[in-house]
Structure 1
Amino acid sequence: MNRAPASQTSHRIALLFNANKVYDREIIAGIGHYLRSTRVAWDLFLEEDFRCRLTGIERFEGDGIIADFDDPAVAEALQGCPLPVVAVGSSFEDAAQYPADLPYIATDNRKLVSLAWTHLIGAGLPHLAMYSLPVAQENLWAQERELAFQALARDEGVDAPVYRGLATSAPSWNQASEQLGVWLDALPKPVGVIAVTDARARQLLQACLMHGIAVPEQVAIIGIDNDPLTRTLTRIPLSSVIQGTEEMGKTAAHMLHQMLGGARFPGRRILVPPVGINVLESTRHEPLSSPHVMRARHFIRQYACQGIKTEQVADYVGVSRSSLEEYFRRELHCTVHQEILRHKLDAAKALLASRDAASAEVAIRCGFTSLQYMYAVFRRELGCTPREYQDSVTPTVAVTASAAAPSTHSAG
């Protein structure tokens, strides 16, 4: 039987997270990174499906716990727990919201929202709004992001509405989508909307598509989480704030490691700032004077990789091909075909950089008629082959960095 070296003490640690959320998954990943980078020997307890079930947790015969305190049921279940506990969750404006007797590692909501706000203002958007969640005990983190958003609006002296919408459920889905579309229609344009999560941002994108609202010319959208699964469900690539969740996991694991050695940190709070922004199409706002070009680009963003032609774009806009070409020459100094090709090329470059597909599959997925044609386009536009382009880039997302550093707050 393999055992830990004699110099190490093995500890049984419970991780109470719901890994169906990218936030929780990345915190768990951060814990894993800490374990791999040290000689710590932990026997980790997680449910086999990575869900958090609290039944019997009071009988856990372990040595410590790291838990998601954004779930009020978790916080309640661990009240009075005799084991060392490190809480992970949302930051709060009101210090009384933190557990007084536990160390707490928090995502910095004020900095998350401020980074998104600054990005949208920098994109030239004169109006801002937020799409949040209904008030509920399990949504306190969302309400904290609302407070941060409203504080920024007060500081800037602007009217920036917050819309909470309905909770996501099958019976209310049609009603929720319709009401969201009505709210979006009524907003002054152009407007930048911050969604409290990528899941809410995806709903915004869908509502814009259903109501014919151009993204990002009329409504620019940014989420929070940088969730890769959400990105696969949107036609228009979604910009998103990248939380410092892996750093939160590493910090929580390091703190628990110290507590297992006898250290105590009652009331210690560490706020972890965002990493930056993955800037994609949903916030690449360019003011346009022609509503025809705006509508055309909205259609092209959605369907460029499906082999659309100029005639189909003109039909969607409701003008003749020659008129649309004239609008494009005046506004963008290019043809409709060149704009379609630019989107296909950008999509191909992103896929090649991510190493998610071979060149032949990239050609198919990005709407090129053949691999040879894609090679010809790369040589003409970039002066290299797709393979040479792939070899020249690092497989990372396009991130606008946050210069903020973690901050530590102790209970007074």
Structure 2
Amino acid sequence: MLKILVLTDFSSGYSRRLLEGIIRYSREVGPWSFIRMPLYYLMMNGENGVVDFAKRWKADAIIAQLRDVNIDLFRSLDIPIIVQNYRHRNKNISNLTGDYYETGVLAADFFLGKGFRHFAYYGYKNAIWSRERALGYKERIEKHGYTCNMLENKNPDNKEWLYNTEDMGKWLEALPKPTALFACDDFYALQISETCNIYNISIPDDIAILGVDNDTLLCNLSTPTLSSIVLDVENGGYQAAKLLDQYIKNEQKEAFNIVVRPLYIENRASTDKYAVSDPHVKIVLDYITNNYNNKISVSDLVNLVPLSRRILEKKFKDQIGTSIYQCVLDHRINHFTKLLLTTNLHLPDAAIQVGFDDYKNVSRIFRKYKSMSPAEYRKLYRKQS
């Protein structure tokens, strides 16, 4: 029986889903035995303590969230190790990492599509996943000609969860309204939500908030509930366990990165707002949001407002940055993607549910968005039962 030492933050939704993937693989090939090591053990005893524990327990492999990695120290164990990276990626070891930059781009595109012109980011300076999400978000926004206000927590690792409510409140009050605020994860998004409530800053009218990880406990603890980016975490855990198995069997020898990718945005009340000043554009946006799954044409939408098609399309492009037709497609593809990953619907039935009437056309459009067919996307990313 293989013995796997797992060192991570077991209180977070991300880590729990990661473990679900690891356990799913172990049941397919097992039996495996796991021992959980909470992060406070690392904080109290350091990496030497982790290595000593692994030797005493005679671990066959390690999956660990490590802030710093002493390669020589862990090589002394002569067992495979995968690091859930924290400060940085290490080129000399396999990393369980993420497409953090693309996660920031996804957040920026989401808010740009809602017509926001003011943007902010709140994160943790010491963590690579926060730094790279900030970079993707900021650079995407700047590409569209806007600026991003930044607030980064610089506390030491053992106090990263602490924040100064007064300083954050002053920062939030000083932001132009409305502002689209992206937080590095749901825990930090909840800090923003709590502070906004203390300072009577309206969510989402003054500050719209988006987090990462879709930790349902944290998202539902917020008032209003938090929108969040869903990540392919369980599959990441599965692939990490598979890689360890390959290392142990000598089928894999080189360091290899497992990349957890962003999938879609779970919309909740904290982003339930379009930041558009033109009332006619807002009417059209609201109609698209509520009727994307019905048969609607640009002509139908033009008939909703007392404007010519040319004037409406110009106003829409100026406010949203995309065409009316593209906005409808974005809504349909986003909801179609979610159905692919969260239901067992046949692909043509899922397409019909989101307003498409020709599956071949859907497949062509989807490939432009995701660079693969709907069937390939579902096979690659859907949570397995």
Give the structure-1-normalised TM-score: 0.60
What corresponds to 2:102 in structure 1? 111
Code of the aligned partner of 1:82:
D
1:226–1:11 distance in 2 versus 1, CA, 3 Å:
same
* Aligned equivalents of 2:244, 2:230: Cα separation in 1: 25
Question: Residue 187 of structure 1 corresponds to which residue in structure 2?
Answer: 175
Q: How does 1:123-162 map to 2 (within 5 A)?
A: 123-133=114-124, 135-136=125-126, 139-162=127-150
In structure 2, what is the equivalent of residue 62 of structure 1? Answer: 59
* Structure 1 residue 87 corresponds to structure 2 residue 87: no
The whole-number CA distance in structure 2 between the counterparts of 1:168 and 1:223 is 22
Cα offset, 1:208, TM superposition: 1.5
Q: Which position in structure 2 is the counterpart of 1:234?
A: 222
Q: Report the CA distance between 1:34 and its aligned residue.
A: 1.6
Given that residues 192 and 220 in structure 1 are in contact (C-alpha distance below 8 angstroms), is that contact kept between their aligned partners in structure 2?
Answer: yes
Counterpart of 1:45 (choices 12, 35, 52) is 35
Work out the CA distance in 1 between the residues paired with 2:96 and 2:154.
Answer: 30
How far residue 281 of structure 1 moved from its aligned partner, in angstroms, is 0.5
Point out the structure with max Rg over C-alpha: 1
Provide closer, same or farther for how the CA distance between residues 114 and 18 of structure 1 changes in structure 2, counting only shifts above 3 A. same
C-alpha contact 2:204 2:272 (8 A) present in aligned 1? yes
SS at match of 1:72: coil
Q: Which amino acid aligns with 1:183?
A: W
- Whole-Å Cα distance in 2 between the matches of residues 196 and 156 of structure 1? 21
Structure 2 partner of 1:358? none
Q: Residue 145 of structure 1: CA displacement?
A: 2.0
Q: Distance in 2 between matches of 1:114 and 1:172?
A: 25
CA distance in 2, matches of 1:86, 1:173: 25
Aligned to 2:17: 26
Unaligned stretches of 5+ residues in structure 1: 1-9, 290-400, 408-412
Paired letter, 2:130: A
Partner letter of residue 159 of structure 1? T
Asked if 1 retains the 8 angstrom alpha-carbon contact of 2:104 and 2:132, the reply is: no
Where does residue 259 of structure 1 map in the other structure?
247
**Other structure's SS at 2:17 match:** helix
Secondary structure of 2:34's aligned partner: strand
Aligned to 1:342: none
Structure 2 counterparts to residues 208-223 of structure 1, below 5 A: 208-223=196-211
The answer (yes or no) to whether the contact 1:165–1:179 under 8 Å persists in 2 is no
CA apart distance, 1:220? 0.4
SS in 1 for 2:221: coil
Deviations 1:175-194 (A, max 9, x none): 81111111111111111000
> Residues 147, 81 of structure 1: CA spacing in aligned structure 2 closer, same or farther, 3 A cutoff?
farther
Deviation at 1:105, TM superposition (A): 2.7
Contact 2:22-2:237 at 8 Å conserved across structures: yes
* Contact persistence 1:109–1:144 (CA under 8 A): yes
How many angstroms apart in 1 are the aligned matches of 2:243 and 2:158? Answer: 41
CA RMSD of the aligned region, Å? 3.4
Which residue of structure 2 aligns with residue 163 of structure 1? 151
Between Structure 1 and Structure 2, the one with more helix by share is: 2
One-letter code of the match for 1:85? I
Unpaired runs of 5+ residues, structure 2, are: 278-365, 372-376
Contact 1:107 1:245 in 2 (8 A): no
Q: Per-residue deviation at 1:160?
A: 0.8
Please tell me whether the aligned partners of residues 104 and 268 of structure 1 are also in contact (alpha carbons under 8 angstroms).
Answer: yes
Task: Show the counterpart of 1:285.
Answer: 273
CA contact (8 A) 2:98 2:261 kept: yes
What is the CA deviation profile of residues 247-283 of structure 1, one whole-angstrom value per residue up to 9, with x for unaligned ones?
1100101111111111224232232211211100000
| Match for residue 17 of structure 1 among 8, 11, 33 | 8
Which amino acid counterpart does residue 57 of structure 1 have in structure 2? Answer: F
**Is 1:17–1:52's contact at 8 Å kept on the other side of the alignment?**
no
Query: 2-side partners of 1:270 and 1:169: how far apart?
Result: 24
2:68 match: 72
**Letter matched to residue 65 of structure 2:** D
Alignment of structure 1 residues 234-383 onto 2, 5 Å: 234-287=222-275
Number of residues of Structure 1 aligned to a counterpart in Structure 2 = 277
Between the aligned partners of 1:152 and 1:98, the Cα distance in structure 2 is: 23
Per the normalisation by structure 2, the TM-score is: 0.63
The whole-number CA distance in structure 2 between the counterparts of 1:111 and 1:15 is 27
Compared with structure 1, are the counterparts of its residues 199 and 183 closer, same or farther at alpha carbon in structure 2 (3 Å cutoff)?
A: same
Is the 2:182–2:209 contact (alpha carbons within 8 Å) kept by the matching residues of 1? yes
